[in-house]
């Protein structure tokens, strides 16, 4: 994967419906800003119960956004990352329909995970209480078959997303077919969605067990055999992320978004400095994604350890986001709006910083100077505000940050000074040779932050003064110091 910023986008929300439109935008309107594109699920249907994360057919491009030739065409100029949804598939799929119709006689009977396949002798109350949950309640749905028999199936997220048995013959074949299809269109990187939930074993939390690590390792081997790199997507305690990083190609730095917010909102860089001492260097860094701003990634976890932020700091941060967004994020978070993830705050990153252009650009600078490959979400690229109209229409909390833009909308937003400045910073991050060197974060007082990148022919330093809320980027090349940009660059 190129050491250049990636765009993370849906194929039907960033300037109209089509992969070809995304292709046109990254090659022309925002040329030089991105070296890669993470196309969020473009499989059929792209507009299902969970915005493409509930595929009916994981090997078919939804015709509303194009076909596989569009993916191949985009891959000729940009690295392509695509999702492999390893935990579940749609309850509307032909495989599940066959299972409902024929039960154990179905050719797909081993594909779907039942309660009894994990707990053949039943489960104790304690075993059920111990299950790791991304949402309230138990991860089961009672389903009635054609013969009238009822069974409990695993549905980790929603009743529309039925969990698969990745260790079964049908499950292994299903996932292999997906890898083969992606390889044939030159997809060079895959993102394992919800991988932490993929293995269920009685007597465990059914989340990130030893068996889960083994599955990720085995699946990564299959991807490597097809010349694909693997990004593991897991929201968990930061020590879990550090452990995963040692066993995978890439992990998300999900601790970075809340830590940068804490830094800029409260003028305290100490937690961020502490994180940089141990954070994985093989990280894809984000501030915003198609999901919410993770809190679990910096919080304490029982039987694991303290968090990067204390309980009181986490509470203060969540309240500050709600206040900065004029209470709109509160309407989209927790039990307020049919959320499947109660450990996230749903809000655009721009609004989480109070729609403050200067703070937003400072946040992006910190992200671009953090160790790893930066990824910028399409709403974040346009410094988007919370979409209360879409939230009201769907009642789905995460839709507050999943705006539909028309081509005209995108072109209009690209003219805003904050977006033009952001694009300039992105091209700078992609082009400067220092980012191919070594990262270091100088230990300093909490109201300051100083990050260095050193390479044989060039060095960079970002200094942030949180007391004055100013910053400076200095380049050292051939023993000459040059101020690249500072807060005056964006103060107009």
Token pair, residue 83, equals: 């999702």
- Residues found in the chain: 492
Reference 220, options 282, 278, 170, 279; nearest CA is: 282
> CA 338, CA 348: separation in Å to the nearest integer?
18
DSSP for residue 45: P
Of 12, 95, 193, 291, catalytic: 193
Q: Which of 54, 233, 268, 288 is catalytic?
A: 233
Cα four-point dihedral sign 147, 150, 154, 155? positive
Which pair of structure tokens corresponds to residue 374?
A: 């930066």
Residue appearing with tokens 């050193």: 454
**Helix/strand/coil percentages in the chain, nearest 5:** 40, 20, 40
Q: Are 468 and 447 in contact (CB under 8 A)?
A: no
- Rounded Cα distance between 439 and 135, Å, is 37
> What span, in angstroms and rounded, lies between the C-alpha atoms of 405 and 413?
10
Burial 385-401, CB ≥16 within 10 A → b, else e: bbbeebbeebebbbbbb
Residue 165 known to be catalytic: no
Active site residue 193: yes
Nearest 5°: the CA angle 280, 282, 285 is 80
**Terminal alpha carbon distance of the chain:** 36
Q: Which of 316, 312, 302, 320 is nearest to 237 (CA)?
A: 302
Which of left, alpha, beta for 49 (phi over 0: left; psi -120 to 50: alpha)? alpha
Task: Report the C-alpha gap between 402 and 294 in whole angstroms.
Answer: 16
For tokens 């190129």, name the residue: 2
Structure tokens at 155: 């549905």
H-helix segments, 246-294: 256-266, 270-278
β-bridge mates for residue 470, sequence order:
465
By CB neighbour count within 10 A (0-12 exposed, 13-18 middle, 19+ buried), where does 120 fall? exposed
H or E element at residue 23: helix 19-24
Which are the catalytic amino acids?
193, 233
């Amino acid at each position: 994967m190129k050491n250049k910023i990636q765009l993370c986008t849906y194929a039907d929300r960033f300037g109209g419906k089509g992969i070809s439109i995304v292709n046109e935008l990254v090659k022309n309107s925002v040329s030089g800003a991105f070296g890669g594109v993470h196309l969020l699920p473009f499989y059929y249907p792209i507009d299902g119960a969970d915005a493409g994360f509930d595929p009916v057919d994981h090997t078919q491009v939804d015709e509303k956004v194009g076909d596989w030739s569009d993916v191949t065409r985009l891959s000729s100029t940009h690295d392509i990352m695509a999702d492999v949804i390893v935990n579940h598939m749609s309850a509307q799929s032909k495989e599940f329909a066959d299972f409902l119709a024929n039960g154990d006689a179905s050719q797909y009977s081993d594909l779907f995970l039942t309660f009894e396949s994990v707990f053949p002798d039943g489960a104790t109350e304690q075993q059920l209480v111990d299950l790791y949950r991304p949402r309230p309640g138990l991860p089961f749905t009672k389903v009635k078959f054609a013969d009238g028999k009822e069974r409990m199936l695993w549905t980790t997220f929603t009743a529309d997303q039925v969990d698969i048995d990745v260790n079964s013959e049908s499950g292994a074949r299903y996932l292999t077919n997906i890898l083969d299809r992606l390889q044939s269109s030159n997809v060079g990187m895959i993102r394992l969605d919800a991988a932490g939930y993929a293995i269920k074993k009685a007597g465990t939390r059914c989340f990130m067990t030893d068996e889960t690590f083994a599955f990720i390792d085995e699946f990564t081997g299959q991807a490597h055999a097809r010349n694909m790199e693997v990004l593991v997507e897991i929201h968990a305690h930061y020590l879990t992320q550090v452990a995963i990083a040692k066993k995978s190609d890439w992990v998300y730095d999900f601790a970075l978004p809340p830590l940068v917010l804490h830094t800029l909102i409260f003028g305290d860089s100490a937690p961020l400095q502490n994180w940089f001492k141990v954070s994985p260097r093989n990280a894809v860094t984000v501030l915003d994604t198609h999901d919410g701003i993770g809190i679990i990634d910096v919080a304490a976890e029982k039987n694991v350890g303290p968090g990067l932020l204390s309980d009181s700091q986490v509470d203060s941060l969540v309240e500050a986001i709600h206040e900065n967004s004029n209470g709109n994020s509160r309407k989209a978070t927790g039990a307020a709006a049919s959320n499947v993830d109660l450990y996230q705050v749903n809000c655009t990153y721009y609004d989480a910083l109070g729609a403050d252009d200067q703070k937003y650009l400072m946040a992006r600078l910190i992200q671009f100077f953090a160790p790893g490959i930066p990824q910028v979400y399409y709403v974040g690229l346009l410094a988007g505000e919370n979409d209360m109209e879409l939230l009201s229409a769907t009642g789905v909390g995460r839709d507050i940050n999943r705006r539909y833009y028309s081509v005209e909308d995108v072109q209009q937003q690209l003219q805003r000074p904050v977006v033009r400045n952001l694009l300039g910073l992105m091209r700078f991050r992609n082009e400067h040779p220092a980012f191919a060197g070594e990262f270091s974060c100088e230990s300093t007082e909490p109201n300051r932050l100083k990050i260095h990148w050193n390479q044989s022919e060039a060095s960079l330093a970002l200094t942030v003064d949180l007391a004055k809320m100013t910053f400076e980027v200095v380049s050292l090349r051939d023993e000459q110091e040059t101020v690249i940009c500072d807060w005056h660059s964006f103060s107009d």
